Amino acid sequence: MGISNAEASAQSLEYQISDISLAEAGRHQITLAQNEMPGLMAIREEFVASQPLAGARISVSLSITVQTAVLVETLVSLGAKVRLSSCNIFSSQDEAAAALVVGNGTVKSPAGIEVFGWKGETTQEFWDCLDKTLDWSSHNNGQTLGPTSILDDGGDVIYLVHQGKEFETTGNLLQEESWDQNEFDVVRNLLERSKSKDAYRFKSLVENLIGASEETTTGIQRLIQLQRNQQLLFPVINVNDAVTKSKFDNKYGIRHSLIDGLNRATDVLIGGKVAFVAGYGDVGKGCAEAMAGQGARVIVSEIDPICALQAVMDGYQVAALESVVEQVDFFITTTGNKDIFRPQHFVRMKHQAILANVGHFDNEIDMVGLAAIAGIKAIEIKPLVHEWVLPSGRSLIVLSEGRVMNLGNATGHPSFVMSASFTNQALAQIDLAQNGQKMSKEVHLISKENDEKVARLHLTALGVELTTLSKDQARYIGVPIEGPYKANHYRY
Ligand code: NAD
Ligand code: RBV
């Protein structure tokens, strides 16, 4: 069947994945997911004839999931070439990676995607894979060649480019708070190797790069800091803050995948227990609702008085961790901040309390501090589920080693909600290809027109009947009949 032919086509590609024999299993899942991703499939239909991404070389770093597979195959069917790596060491689905490499040569699942990533990478392997996504020299007879655009989740690839150019220019690296010393050493070694091969690689990469699109809150926060310091080297489209991304993926996506991760990892009953959710932003709201939906009593912590007031109005207790730590069964971090659960909290936690982070980076739970408690030992219960036994005899269950557990212990958000996020990504990449050269080196929002378009593309599948404005009504509230319907300051 198709696989053996396709395996032949995979041989001319560069790739590094766990197991290519998983391709058929991955392809079945991708085919099912296409039906659940109406936005992306509509974009394929709308643009397949005009090929707006013809000539584009897109370096993509996302969790290598079935949903990501449908996105990158969409980019390819619009004319792009793609190299893909994972934005997180534990978040890949190896069958999705295999299916992408193999492809089957049709518009719906084109062959030719070069993938570098697998579930369970080391830090060194992670950065090597990101570096490979940026290195298109195999498409240029071995001569230096970079991407025309980047599609990033968390900002690591964008940061690697900035660090690379800085290192080639000054021999130093930029400040980067989310990296520990090991990460700095790995990146410095990588850049030293790169510089000794080609001292101008990142400079020429930046000159030929049109721009990037960024998927998540933490990535946007990092890029805004670069912009504030006037260090941002190219335009970036902010996909996260499209309403159809952050108010859907971050909230309704996690409402599904948090529970999925907790159940696959532990299968501990949630009803009747106490869940502590740190942060009541978009992700925190989805987590609190998910836990309450299972019958948990939810306590929220916040630093922002507006979000704290929202949480209490939604019916949750709002308290500082220190006041309630002994009562909690499930500890969940959603802040995008660091050092939320620390050693002084660990020693006060209940026996077999479960610790789960869904923020982008692994510094919300202080894992270094946990490991440094004198006499503590970790037992692997199963992959990505560890029991940490404290000297007191009490133990804590930590999921995905403190990394994003809805992707580590489960398979991330489901297809339908990722369709909205990734339709924004596809539109952002088309925008970069068509208008990127004219964009300023800043972080740009998705237009309201495109945001509403993404929502529209997901209505039919859910049987939604939208009301149409009459001419008179449209004039009365001062909006065009066909939208956009809201001013930019509207907060949904
Ligand atoms: P957000 O800014 O809307 O929410 C974060 C909230 O945490 C804010 O309200 C902030 O005030 C609060 N906060 C910050 N420091 C705090 C502290 N010390 N204690 C208590 N609250 C604190 O961001 P978001 O969109 O909800 O994203 C949160 C994180 O989740 C980011 O890292 C983002 O990249 C990530 N994310 C993960 C997934 C996933 O699938 N796991 C999905 C979307 C976003
Ligand atoms: N996320 N991707 C998936 N199934 O591919 N699930 C979640 C998936 C993304 C989500 O958009 C979030 O902003 C990001 O992961 C955090 O890294």
Residue where the block lists tokens 């890029």: 223
Expressed in angstroms, the distance from the first to the final Cα of the chain is: 49
Atom of ligand 1 nearest to the CA of 360: 32
**pLDDT tens string 127-186:** 999 999 999 999 999 999 999 999 999 999 999 999 999 999 999 999 888 888 999 999
Asked if residue 9 has pLDDT above 80, the reply is no
Amino acid at 21: S
Distance 278 CA to ligand 1 centre (A): 8
Q: If pLDDT is split at 50, 70 and 90, which confidence band does 1 have?
A: very low
Q: What is the distance between the alpha carbons of residues 308 and 294, in angstroms, rounded to a whole number?
A: 22
pLDDT > 70: percent of the chain: 96
Asked if residue 430 has pLDDT above 60, the reply is yes
Q: If pLDDT is split at 50, 70 and 90, which confidence band does 214 have?
A: very high
Distance 31 CA to ligand 1 centre (A): 32
> For the residues 113-122, what does the mean pLDDT come to?
97
Q: What is the pLDDT of residue 345?
A: 98
Atom of ligand 2 nearest to the CA of 87: 17
Pocket test for ligand 1, best of 61, 300, 334 (most atoms within 8 A of CB): 334
Do the beta carbons of residue 281 and residue 217 sit within 8 Å?
yes
**pLDDT tens string 29-69:** 999 999 999 999 999 999 999 999 999 999 999 999 999 99
Helices H, strands E: what count in the chain? 21, 15
Pocket of ligand 1 (CB under 6 A): 216-218, 246, 249-250, 254, 278-284, 301-304, 307, 334-337, 340, 358-360, 404, 406, 412-413
Our answer on whether the CB atom of 63 is closer than 6 Å to any ligand 2 atom is yes
Q: What is the pLDDT of residue 5?
A: 42
Would you say the C-alpha torsion 167, 172, 174, 178 has a positive or negative sign?
positive
Alpha helices (runs of H) in 209-362, residue ranges in sequence order: 217-228, 243-246, 254-265, 282-293, 305-313, 321-324, 343-346
Alpha helices (runs of H) in 136-200, residue ranges in sequence order: 156-170, 181-197
Tallying the residues shown for the chain, one arrives at: 492
**pLDDT tens string 171-195:** 999 988 888 899 999 999 999 999 9
Contacts of 211 (CB under 8 A, 6+ apart): 149, 150, 234, 235, 236, 237, 432, 436, 439
Asked if residue 367 has pLDDT above 80, the reply is yes
Q: Which ligand is nearest to the CA of 88?
A: 2
- The b-or-e profile of 343-378 (16+ CB within 10 A means b, else e) is eebbeebbeebbbbbbbbbbbbbbbeebeeeeebee
Q: Tell me the domains of the chain and their CATH numbers.
A: 5-246+412-446 (3.40.50.1480), 251-408 (3.40.50.720)
Q: What is the pLDDT of residue 4?
A: 40
Q: What is the pLDDT of residue 8?
A: 40
Q: If pLDDT is split at 50, 70 and 90, which confidence band does 105 have?
A: low
Supply the DSSP symbol for 447: P
Q: What is the distance between the alpha carbons of residues 210 and 203, in angstroms, rounded to a whole number?
A: 13
Do the beta carbons of residue 384 and residue 90 sit within 8 Å?
yes
